[in-house]
Homo-oligomer: A and B are copies of this chain.
Amino acid sequence: MSKSRILIQLDTDPQASVFDAVVAIDAGAERLLQYANIKPEQVRDLIHGAMYTRGPADLKNTAIFVGGSNVAHGEQVFRNAVDTMFEPFKVSVMIDCNGSNSTAAAAVISASRHLELEGSTALVLAATGPVGQRVAKILANEKCTVYLSSRSLERSEECVAQLVAQGVPQNRLIAISSADQTWTDKAIRESHMVFACGAAGVRLMTAEQLEQAGQLKVAIDLNAVPPLGIDGIGLTDKGSSRGGRIEYGALGVGGLKMKIHKASVASLFESNAKTIDCQEMMSIGRDILALEKPLS
């Protein structure tokens, strides 16, 4: 008899996410073990419990989900989990703290429906946050030129350095400050895509700036709390045509984000050695898109 599919939810928040739990159940996790308030130093023992309880042939039915609102803490937990394991005692691991990975993948996939990513130029607003950084990473790995904008040039440059350390090609990343008019204007003029990844209620791009954006084909705003990050975009826009551009609001991206999240959890149980972060979610998102296209 095959073993039941167990998902171990490691959450760094005081209460484990209900959102992640329900999605996990609906994605096919037959048993869910919820762990809240996870500290990086607790990870090793917990992962050992996942590694040494089933034979290697059954380990694909045990998997780890790392979540929580603090992305930095979650990444440490994720790294500790991955570093603890070795073949043949590996179990699959996924990280989607605060939905940042699935949101970033869904945003880029949405853009990819309307233009060829390779060779395009993108402007990522509020690029130093969890979602912005992942959008930039995915785009650069897709061979886009990416402007990473934040209020502080120093933080944009730090963000670029972090991405380069993760293996992203440096020559595709350009750090700019939103306070620097010259560079901001240049980025706006050159970009085919713009992604607003800022905090709730912060306006990142004005109507005037949109008008200057002569090359702009797709504008995506991932903020769900008005005022939205890009002037004129509606929360539920999903491929809406406006001023010659295709526009997406946060809820317009949300449906695909949910599908990617769910498919990612399901894919954890396909083998015992998956490591799923934003990059793998791009591939999962593309598969979802490929299945949907014939229907539309």
| Residues of chain A at the chain B interface (Cβ within 8 Å) | 3-4, 6, 8, 14-23, 25-26, 31-35, 37-38, 42, 45-50, 52-54, 62, 258
Contacts and interface: CB of A to CB of B under 8 A. Distances in A.
A10 B54 CA distance: 22
29 contacts: A3-B26, A4-B25, A6-B22, A6-B25, A14-B37, A14-B42, A15-B38, A15-B42, A15-B46, A16-B35, A17-B45, A17-B49, A18-B33, A18-B47, A18-B48, A18-B49, A18-B50, A19-B49, A19-B52, A19-B53, A20-B49, A25-B31, A26-B53, A26-B54, A31-B32, A32-B33, A33-B34, A34-B34, A53-B258
A15 B18 CA distance: 18
| Among A4, A19, A38, A47: residue with most chain B CB under 10 A | A19
A46 B18 CA distance: 5
Contacts of A4: 25-26
A106 to B, nearest CB: 15
A201 B33 CA distance: 32
A174 to B, nearest CB: 35
A224 B42 CA distance: 20
A6 B25 CA distance: 9
B8 A54 contact: no
Nearest to A8: B18
Contacts of A38: 15
B48 A19 contact: yes
Contacts of A49: 17-22
Contacts of A34: 33-34
Contacts of A62: 22
Contacts of A16: 35
A220 to B, nearest CB: 20
A62 to B, nearest CB: 7
A52 to B, nearest CB: 7
Contacts of A23: 53
Nearest to A4: B25
A98 B205 CA distance: 53
A54 B35 CA distance: 22
| Among A8, A16, A23, A31: residue with most chain B CB under 10 A | A31
A50 B16 CA distance: 13
Query: Closest 6 CB pairs between A and B?
Result: A18-B49, A19-B49, A22-B53, A18-B46, A21-B33, A15-B42
